[in-house]
Structure 1
Amino acid sequence: MAKAKKILEKMGINPRDDWTIKEVQKVCEYYNLECAPPSGGGSHWKVSSEHLEGILTIPSNRPIKPIYIKKLVGYVSAHQDAEEDKGDG
Protein backbone atom coordinates (compact mmCIF):
# COMPACT_ATOMS: atom_id res chain seq x y z
CA MET A 1 0.00 0.00 0.00
CA ALA A 2 3.02 2.30 -0.15
CA LYS A 3 1.67 3.18 -3.58
CA ALA A 4 -1.22 5.08 -1.96
CA LYS A 5 1.28 7.11 0.06
CA LYS A 6 3.11 8.05 -3.14
CA ILE A 7 -0.16 8.96 -4.83
CA LEU A 8 -0.99 11.35 -1.97
CA GLU A 9 2.49 12.91 -2.19
CA LYS A 10 2.06 13.43 -5.93
CA MET A 11 -1.41 14.89 -5.38
CA GLY A 12 0.11 17.44 -3.02
CA ILE A 13 2.84 18.35 -5.51
CA ASN A 14 0.65 18.39 -8.62
CA PRO A 15 -3.09 18.64 -7.93
CA ARG A 16 -3.65 19.51 -11.61
CA ASP A 17 -2.67 16.04 -12.83
CA ASP A 18 -5.32 13.75 -14.35
CA TRP A 19 -6.49 12.20 -11.05
CA THR A 20 -9.23 9.57 -11.01
CA ILE A 21 -11.71 8.49 -8.38
CA LYS A 22 -9.90 5.11 -8.17
CA GLU A 23 -6.77 6.91 -6.97
CA VAL A 24 -8.85 8.84 -4.44
CA GLN A 25 -10.29 5.52 -3.23
CA LYS A 26 -6.79 4.02 -2.82
CA VAL A 27 -5.68 6.98 -0.72
CA CYS A 28 -8.81 6.83 1.43
CA GLU A 29 -8.48 3.11 1.98
CA TYR A 30 -4.82 3.43 2.99
CA TYR A 31 -5.54 6.20 5.51
CA ASN A 32 -8.70 4.51 6.90
CA LEU A 33 -11.09 7.11 5.54
CA GLU A 34 -14.63 6.22 4.51
CA CYS A 35 -15.10 6.75 0.76
CA ALA A 36 -18.77 6.22 -0.08
CA PRO A 37 -20.00 6.09 -3.68
CA PRO A 38 -22.71 8.40 -4.98
CA SER A 39 -26.26 7.52 -4.05
CA GLY A 40 -29.60 8.51 -5.51
CA GLY A 41 -28.27 9.28 -8.98
CA GLY A 42 -25.63 11.78 -7.83
CA SER A 43 -22.03 11.96 -8.98
CA HIS A 44 -20.24 12.96 -5.77
CA TRP A 45 -18.29 10.54 -3.61
CA LYS A 46 -18.35 11.26 0.11
CA VAL A 47 -15.13 11.11 2.11
CA SER A 48 -15.41 11.10 5.88
CA SER A 49 -13.34 10.41 8.98
CA GLU A 50 -14.36 9.17 12.40
CA HIS A 51 -11.97 11.80 13.83
CA LEU A 52 -13.24 14.84 11.90
CA GLU A 53 -16.52 16.67 11.60
CA GLY A 54 -17.91 17.25 8.15
CA ILE A 55 -17.83 15.34 4.91
CA LEU A 56 -15.66 16.08 1.89
CA THR A 57 -17.52 15.58 -1.39
CA ILE A 58 -15.59 14.83 -4.56
CA PRO A 59 -17.23 14.64 -7.99
CA SER A 60 -16.26 11.53 -9.92
CA ASN A 61 -16.00 13.41 -13.21
CA ARG A 62 -12.65 12.93 -14.85
CA PRO A 63 -10.30 14.64 -14.46
CA ILE A 64 -11.06 15.64 -10.90
CA LYS A 65 -10.59 19.40 -10.54
CA PRO A 66 -7.46 20.51 -8.63
CA ILE A 67 -9.47 22.20 -5.87
CA TYR A 68 -10.95 18.85 -4.83
CA ILE A 69 -7.52 17.20 -4.82
CA LYS A 70 -6.14 20.03 -2.65
CA LYS A 71 -9.07 19.59 -0.27
CA LEU A 72 -8.45 15.83 -0.12
CA VAL A 73 -4.76 16.33 0.71
CA GLY A 74 -5.73 18.73 3.51
CA TYR A 75 -8.44 16.38 4.76
CA VAL A 76 -6.01 13.45 4.95
CA SER A 77 -3.53 15.64 6.83
CA ALA A 78 -6.19 16.77 9.32
CA HIS A 79 -7.32 13.15 9.74
CA GLN A 80 -3.77 12.04 10.54
CA ASP A 81 -3.32 14.88 13.04
CA ALA A 82 -6.60 14.02 14.77
CA GLU A 83 -5.67 10.35 14.84
CA GLU A 84 -2.31 11.15 16.46
CA ASP A 85 -3.96 13.45 19.02
CA LYS A 86 -6.44 10.73 19.93
CA GLY A 87 -3.55 8.28 20.37
CA ASP A 88 -1.78 10.63 22.79
CA GLY A 89 -4.87 10.96 25.00
Structure 2
Amino acid sequence: MNFKDLDKLLRRYGFSCRQSGKGSSHFTYFHPELPDILPIPKERPIKAVYVKQAIILIQKLKEKGNME
Protein backbone atom coordinates (compact mmCIF):
# COMPACT_ATOMS: atom_id res chain seq x y z
CA MET A 1 0.00 0.00 0.00
CA ASN A 2 1.30 3.46 -0.73
CA PHE A 3 1.05 6.55 1.46
CA LYS A 4 -1.60 8.22 -0.70
CA ASP A 5 -3.98 5.23 -0.45
CA LEU A 6 -3.55 4.86 3.31
CA ASP A 7 -4.05 8.60 3.78
CA LYS A 8 -7.26 8.44 1.73
CA LEU A 9 -8.56 5.48 3.77
CA LEU A 10 -7.87 7.12 7.13
CA ARG A 11 -9.44 10.41 6.09
CA ARG A 12 -12.54 8.53 4.90
CA TYR A 13 -12.97 7.34 8.48
CA GLY A 14 -12.62 10.84 9.90
CA PHE A 15 -8.95 10.91 10.82
CA SER A 16 -7.06 14.18 10.66
CA CYS A 17 -3.40 14.48 9.78
CA ARG A 18 -0.51 16.76 10.62
CA GLN A 19 3.18 16.58 9.86
CA SER A 20 5.21 15.83 12.97
CA GLY A 21 7.72 18.64 12.60
CA LYS A 22 10.00 20.52 10.26
CA GLY A 23 11.99 18.14 8.17
CA SER A 24 10.23 15.09 9.56
CA SER A 25 9.07 12.45 7.13
CA HIS A 26 6.36 11.29 9.56
CA PHE A 27 2.73 12.30 9.48
CA THR A 28 0.57 11.87 12.57
CA TYR A 29 -3.04 10.72 12.24
CA PHE A 30 -5.59 11.17 15.00
CA HIS A 31 -9.33 10.89 15.48
CA PRO A 32 -11.42 12.89 17.99
CA GLU A 33 -13.12 9.70 19.23
CA LEU A 34 -9.86 7.84 19.96
CA PRO A 35 -6.98 8.52 22.34
CA ASP A 36 -4.55 6.75 19.97
CA ILE A 37 -2.31 8.47 17.47
CA LEU A 38 -0.77 6.85 14.43
CA PRO A 39 2.56 8.15 13.14
CA ILE A 40 3.24 7.05 9.57
CA PRO A 41 6.44 7.73 7.63
CA LYS A 42 5.83 9.01 4.13
CA GLU A 43 7.90 6.47 2.28
CA ARG A 44 6.97 4.03 -0.43
CA PRO A 45 5.74 1.40 0.08
CA ILE A 46 4.25 1.72 3.55
CA LYS A 47 5.37 -1.12 5.82
CA ALA A 48 2.72 -3.64 6.81
CA VAL A 49 2.95 -2.72 10.50
CA TYR A 50 1.51 0.75 9.78
CA VAL A 51 -1.34 -0.67 7.71
CA LYS A 52 -2.15 -3.13 10.51
CA GLN A 53 -2.17 -0.33 13.08
CA ALA A 54 -4.51 1.71 10.87
CA ILE A 55 -6.88 -1.26 10.57
CA ILE A 56 -6.89 -1.70 14.36
CA LEU A 57 -7.84 1.96 14.85
CA ILE A 58 -10.62 1.71 12.26
CA GLN A 59 -11.92 -1.40 14.03
CA LYS A 60 -11.94 0.51 17.33
CA LEU A 61 -14.12 3.17 15.71
CA LYS A 62 -16.49 0.53 14.39
CA GLU A 63 -16.73 -1.06 17.84
CA LYS A 64 -17.72 2.31 19.29
CA GLY A 65 -20.59 2.35 16.79
CA ASN A 66 -19.39 5.46 15.01
CA MET A 67 -18.82 3.85 11.63
CA GLU A 68 -20.60 1.40 9.37
TM over 0.5: yes
- RMSD of the TM alignment (CA)? 1.5
2:49 is the alignment partner of 1:49: no
Structure 1 runs of 4+ with >6 Å offset: none
Listed as ranges, the gaps of 5+ residues in structure 2 are none
Among 32, 43, 58, which residue is 1:76 paired with? 58
Higher strand share: 2
Shift of 1:79: 2.1
**Matching of residues 2-81 of structure 1 within 5 Å:** 19-81=1-63
Larger Rg: 1
Return the TM-score normalized by structure 2: 0.82
Q: Percent identity among equivalent residues?
A: 27
User: For each residue in 1:8-55, what CA deviation from the matched residue of structure 2 results, as whole angstroms up to 9, or x when unmatched?
Assistant: xxxxxxxxxxx1111111111211111223431101111111111121
State how many pairs are aligned.
66
Listed as ranges, the gaps of 5+ residues in structure 1 are 1-18
